[in-house]
Structure 1
Amino acid sequence: MKQLSKEQQIRILLIEDDLMVQEVNRMFVEKVKGFTVVGVAANGKEGREKVKELQPDLVLLDIYMPKEDGLQAISELRQEQLDVDIIAVTAANDTLTVKKLLRYGVVDYIVKPFTFERLKQALDQYKEMYDKLRKTDKISQDKLDEVMQQKEQSKQGELPKGLHSVTLKQILDFLQQIDCPKSAEEIGSEVGLARVTVRRYLNYLESTKKVEMELTYGTIGRPIQLYRLIKSDNEVRS
């Protein structure tokens, strides 16, 4: 992870093949204090060349791209030992892709469609961590523990007791991929969780206005609760 000077803004390179999404991402990034976009690229190969040319601090990298996809680009960047951090953006929420991204050392990964708020959270967390790390050339175990715990707390947020950020993200990622509402049982079947567990998370998400619930009636007249994600007006989708 890269050490930043105290004076400079955090310099970001956008690697995204969709020009419209590229421009939305630029606007999102430049709304966050302390960050600036220094360049854009339309595929992994061009992106790697821009990393060498522009030497950004952070790359916002799409995974599915022509010519050279994001996973291949990350692999090449790591082999070349280029000093750059990466936030991955992907339409995939499968475990294999996530594991590969984590092994390549991405500082965060964001599943499409995503909102400005989710990107801002990732950027703010990145900046907060590096504001602490760049104040000293050496770091004690206690200080390192503080930084890592703060990173985890940022991910965890203020969740009620018994709820976990990883499970919450798993359910949210699934809801982002569907167009029609699903029951807790259907969601649980898809993500591999018990219905009662999913229901607890859905109740929390409903209370925080992240999902909405609607009632329908089955063939024998029993009410079924269906849930869908409340879409934000400022979502990045493609």
Structure 2
Amino acid sequence: MNANDKPIFKVVLIEDDPMVQEVNKLFIEQVQGFRVAGVAGNGNDGLKLVRELSPNLVFLDVFMPSLDGIETLQQLRTMALPVDVVAVTAAKDAETIRAMLRNGAIDYIIKPFKLERVKQTLERYRLRHEAWSEGPPATQDDLDRLMHNGGEAAEAGKTESLILQDARPNGQDVLPKGLNAATLKQVLNVLQLHGAAGLSAEEAADGVGIARVTARRYLDYLEKTGRVELEINYGGVGRPVNRYVPKP
């Protein structure tokens, strides 16, 4: 192997939706050094594939027949198979996320997702693998850089803190139950893009990729905290439309 050669990381997909299987495979194989070695449509078949193919990485859905993602991950850990797992799922409730992380998932990607998000996970995985291959970390700082990807995790936490601080009323410590900083940031970004024209709850939902009722909760929160103004548009036939306009 010459200096330009990179190791090939084998990935097994465990996903019951054939269309999502194809998207996952396409995205993974666009990242240099990664290839999909096998695909399974449920947890039971997935466990067999992992035993047979000994992949480096598993992309694992949660909602599946036969054996769901949480149970599949638990069995992988019980069997002590040397494989890393990335959860790729539409599940975004706190209980499921915690269950997957507690059972050893190294990352959690929420559907629908973009190529850049998958690339971010795979590039970080490769960097860590290469760092471990060079030998164990010499100091705590070395280990911290390896575990947190050069401070990326700390920076992400700092960014989330700033988002919350910027949006909270009167220094409130936490967002209302059911709201989270990442989605709040997305709603704010969509609002800023539309400027003085403002957005309805339906337009905000389409822009962020969330349900209209969820978008309405974030917009109402931003209106209560003074980040946006509510304008009622009575034009046209039918009920008036509430539009949320960001304050300068």
Q: Same fold (TM over 0.5)?
A: yes
1:163 has 2:196 as partner: no
* Residue pair 1:74, 1:104 contacting (<8 A) in 2 also: yes
Alpha-carbon distance, 1:36 to partner: 1.0
TM-score by length of 1: 0.71
* Residue pair 2:88, 2:110 contacting (<8 A) in 1 also: yes
Q: Counterpart of 2:198?
A: none
Task: Indicate the structure with greater helix content.
Answer: 2
Q: Counterpart of 2:232?
A: 217
| 1:37-76 superposed matches below 5 A | 37-76=36-75
Mapped to 1, the partners of 2:52 and 2:225 lie a distance apart of: 47
Q: Counterpart of 2:112?
A: 113
* Residue pair 1:188, 1:198 contacting (<8 A) in 2 also: no
1:82 has 2:95 as partner: no
Q: Which has the higher contact order (CA 8 A, sep 6+)?
A: 1
Q: Counterpart of 1:182?
A: 215
Q: Counterpart of 2:34?
A: 35
Mapped to 2, the partners of 1:111 and 1:141 lie a distance apart of: 32
* Residue pair 2:137, 2:143 contacting (<8 A) in 1 also: no
Unpaired segments ≥5 residues, structure 2:
165-178, 188-204, 235-239
Mapped to 1, the partners of 2:223 and 2:14 lie a distance apart of: 40
Q: Counterpart of 1:234?
A: none
Give the partner amino acid of 2:119.
K
TM-score by length of 2: 0.68
RMSD over aligned CA atoms reads 3.6
Give the partner amino acid of 2:78.
Q
Larger radius of gyration: 2
Alpha-carbon distance, 1:143 to partner: 1.1
- Seq. identity, %: 35
Unpaired segments ≥5 residues, structure 1:
1-5, 204-214, 228-238
Evaluate the alpha carbon distance shift between residue 44 and residue 136 of structure 1 in structure 2; reply closer, same or farther with a 3 A threshold.
same
* Residue pair 1:63, 1:69 contacting (<8 A) in 2 also: yes
Corresponding residue SS for 1:60 = strand
Corresponding residue SS for 1:32 = coil
